[in-house]
Amino acid sequence: MVSKVTVKAPSSTANLGPGFDVFGLAMDAFYDTVTLTKIKKGIKIITEDSIPANPEKNTAGLVVKNMKKKFKIKDGIGIKIKKGIPAGFGMGSSAASAAAAAVAFDKLFGLRLNGNSLVEFAGSGEKASAGTIHYDNVAASVLGGFVIVRTDPLDVIRIEPPENLRMCVAVPTIDVPKKKTKVSRGVIPKKIKLSDSILNLSNASAIVAGFLNKDTELIGNSIKDVIVEPARQRMIPGFSKVKQNAIRAGALGVTISGAGPSVIAFSKNSDSLKKICRAMSKGFTSSNTKCQTIICKPSKGAADKRKYYEKSSCCF
Ligand code: HSE
């Protein structure tokens, strides 16, 4: 009988421009690690990171609580969390802990859940940090690669990204609001123009075609969002300059990573990646803001086993 399971879950970028709450991409920039251990009773969180230790307020804790209830598990569970993903910067930090917890729970109790169910449980943990459930980050973190999330009913489509896809992520050194995702969702317009919706839909469709055809140029040059990005960019000092600089340095497309404030540039594996990072840094410097830059590529998910995808919608 297994009594202890450790699972690593990757960082992710949500939206990819026009795919708000629908697209996610797992990135090998950072990982969270969650170890679940059977204990006598209750749910106990052990961590050295500054995250809530109350299971109700912790994304991994909430996942474990929900799964324990759903599957009528009597054992107590110890949750050890090691955060590798900076929290609050738009790289799916809370989602990764939730994803790792869901996959670890599945393994610890031999549940053999399919991809959609794992994503659904992981999403239930996101509520602890974002207030609302959106599955883009958790789906990417659980399944890896590029994901398309359909809801009602939840159905995740996974596509293997092209080998040469690379991202440059610039993480500004700024204070982020406490409920950042809630705040940055609050600035999005409630009503949008039909012409803007058409533009976003055309680009989102092109991104999907790009992933299916392993066409990195098409993915990159379709990263265009005329609805959410214009509303959120005010929350990121120097955003326009960072974006302009990255494009001039050779990036195919640039947008806000998730709910921000990190900015992500898409490119092909080439020599220009360092140049793009430097250009983005300079963009932030023009607004007196420091930043950390990371070059990364798509990652595998926490549930990196074919069997987890079997009952999901499809997988390319
Ligand atoms: N799709 C979400 C948003 C991701 O942009 O608000 C946040 O993690």
pLDDT in tens, 103-162: 999 999 999 999 999 999 999 987 766 667 899 999 999 999 999 999 989 999 999 999
CB count within 10 Å of CB 234 equals 9
Residue 311: its pLDDT value, please?
46
Q: Please give the number of the atom of ligand 1 that sits closest to the Cα of 21.
A: 1
Residue 136 CA, closest ligand 1 atom number: 1
Of residues 82, 86, 90, 91, the one with CA closest to residue 60:
82
Residue 18 in contact with residue 201, Cβ under 8 Å?
yes
- Indicate the CATH number of 4-161 among 3.30.230.10, 3.40.50.2300, 3.40.50.300, 2.60.40.1120: 3.30.230.10
In sequence order, the 6+-apart residues with CB closer than 8 A to the CB of 178 are none
Closest of 271, 273, 275, 243 to residue 257, by C-alpha: 243
Range(s) for CATH 3.30.70.890 in the chain? 166-296
Distance 95 CA to ligand 1 centre (A): 11
* Most ligand 1 atoms within 8 A of CB, residue of 181, 188, 225, 232 to mutate: 181
Q: How far is the CA of 21 from the centre of ligand 1 (A)?
A: 6
Q: Write the residue with the smallest CA distance to atom 1 of ligand 1.
A: 21
The strand pairing partners of 156, in sequence order, are 149
**Residue 172 pLDDT more than 60?**
yes
Q: How far apart are CA 233 and CA 310, in angstroms?
A: 39
For residue 130, the model assigns a pLDDT of 64
Helix or strand holding residue 34 (H, E)? strand 23-39
233 pLDDT exceeds 70? yes
Kindly tell me the sign of the dihedral angle through the C-alpha atoms of 127, 128, 130, 131. Answer: positive
* Largest distance between two CA atoms of the chain: 58
Domain with CATH 3.30.230.10 in the chain: 4-161
How high is the mean pLDDT of the chain?
93
The pLDDT, as a whole number, for residue 179 is 80
Question: What is the identity of the amino acid at 265?
Answer: A
Q: What is the mean pLDDT of residues 274-284?
A: 97
pLDDT at 208 over 70: yes
With 0.85 as the threshold, say if the pTM is over it: yes
- Provide, rounded to the nearest whole percent, the portion of the chain with pLDDT above 70: 95
**Per-residue pLDDT at 52:** 87
Fold that domain 166-296 belongs to in CATH: Alpha-Beta Plaits (3.30.70)
Q: Does the pLDDT at position 316 exceed 50?
A: no
Q: What is the pLDDT of residues 75-113, one digit of tens each?
A: 999 999 999 999 999 999 999 999 999 999 999 999 999
* Residue in the block written with tokens 């297994």: 2
Kindly give the distance from the C-alpha atom of residue 29 to the centroid of ligand 1, in angstroms, as a whole number. Answer: 18
Structure confidence at residue 50 as a pLDDT band (50, 70, 90): confident
- CA 100 to mean position of chain CA atoms: 13
CB-based contacts of 154, cutoff 8 Å, min separation 6: 116, 119, 120, 123, 135
Q: Which residue has the higher pLDDT, 249 or 315?
A: 249
Tokens for 122, please give them.
Answer: 């992981």
Q: Provide the residue type at 101 as one letter.
A: A
Is residue 226's pLDDT more than 90? yes
Instruction: List, for residues 291-311, the tens digit of each pLDDT value.
Output: 999 999 999 999 986 555 444
